[in-house]
Amino acid sequence: MIFTAQLSSIQGWRGLFDRLADVLRPGMILALSGPLGAGKTTCTQELLAWLEGRVQAKSPTFALLRVYPVERAPFQRLVHIDAYRLERPEDAQVLALEEELEQPGTLAVIEWPEQMVEALLRHAERTIWLTITPTETEERVVTVEYRG
């Protein structure tokens, strides 16, 4: 599945998640790629709201990983990873991605997935790539790629 969506408002993210609802399952990864300021954290905040989380997502840049409880079945938790500060591919091991994905009801979202491509290659069949491109008019063009 490959498609492009043009989002003209923050609410557009929820429409995008509605479109992905048929393929999203526990144990999957949303890999958010785009330049600084593209809207990766906003995307995560809207994903958390769509999953019926009770708190607002914060950028985990300094913690690298945050876990949020969610209530939208079949999901129970959203694991939010910000890989921006990873300096080497092997640094991703500290995130224990495999163990996190094994937890029941887990959906993972990763900002700056380019920093941990080797780890994501092991999960290619369950990774949905969202490439976010800001436009001059403050809209976002999101290209979605999933080969599962």
pLDDT digits (tens, 9 = 90+) for 7-27: 999 889 999 999 999 999 999
Per-residue pLDDT at 147 exceeds 90:
no
**What is the residue type of 64?**
L
Domain range spanning residue 15? 2-146
> Residue 110: in which H helix or E strand, if any?
strand 106-111
Q: What is the pLDDT of residue 67?
A: 93
Is the Cα torsion angle 118, 121, 122, 127 positive or negative in sign? positive
Distance CA 8, CA 88 (A): 35
CA distance between the termini of the chain: 8
Residues 113-141: pLDDT tens digits?
Answer: 999 988 888 899 999 999 999 999 989 99
Q: Which residue has the higher pLDDT, 111 or 95?
A: 111
Q: Specify the number of domains making up the chain.
A: 1
Distance CA 9, CA 15 (A): 10
Distance CA 108, CA 126 (A): 10
Q: What is the pLDDT of residue 61?
A: 60
Whichever domain contains 23, its CATH number is 3.40.50.300
Q: What is the pLDDT of residue 93?
A: 75
Q: Residue holding tokens 């991605």?
A: 97
Give the pair of three-digit tokens for residue 45. 């905040």
Mean per-residue pLDDT for 72-99?
86
Residues 31-84: pLDDT tens digits?
Answer: 999 999 999 999 999 999 999 998 877 766 667 889 999 999 999 999 999 988
Distance CA 70, CA 57 (A): 11
Residues 26 and 106 sit within 8 Å (Cβ to Cβ): yes
Predicted TM-score (pTM) of the model is 0.92
Q: What is the pLDDT of residue 114?
A: 93
